[in-house]
Amino acid sequence: MALPLRTGQDWWPSYTLLDLYRSINAPMESFFGSLKAELVHEQHYPTREAAKRDLFAYIEGYYNRQRLHSALGYITPEQAELQTA
């Protein structure tokens, strides 16, 4: 989203910084929503290391390699990366 070039008193864009933050933050909100629903909801880990291992396995083993993403045209991030290479 490019900022409009304006001068004078009406130089400030019509959208707010909160709108800009929300548009930038939306993919991360989606990721954390998926993570909570698919992995950690009501899960209790005995140690921080156990949680880190489980998160790594979820992200690298499932989220990036198997889970289909609507924003990518229902392909995995790994497939999208291979297409652009």
Supply the pLDDT for residue 14. Answer: 64
The domain spans of the chain are: 33-85
Contacts of 84 by beta carbon, 8 Å cutoff, 6+ apart:
none
* 31: amino acid identity, one letter: F
- 18 by Cβ neighbours in 10 Å (0-12 / 13-18 / 19+) ranks as exposed
Supply the pLDDT for residue 42. Answer: 86
- On whether the CB atoms of residues 47 and 55 are closer than 8 A, the answer is no
Q: pLDDT tens for the chain, 85 residues: list them.
A: 555 555 555 555 566 777 777 778 888 888 899 999 999 888 999 999 999 999 999 999 999 899 999 889 999 999 999 999 7
Sign of CA pseudo-dihedral 21, 66, 41, 52:
negative
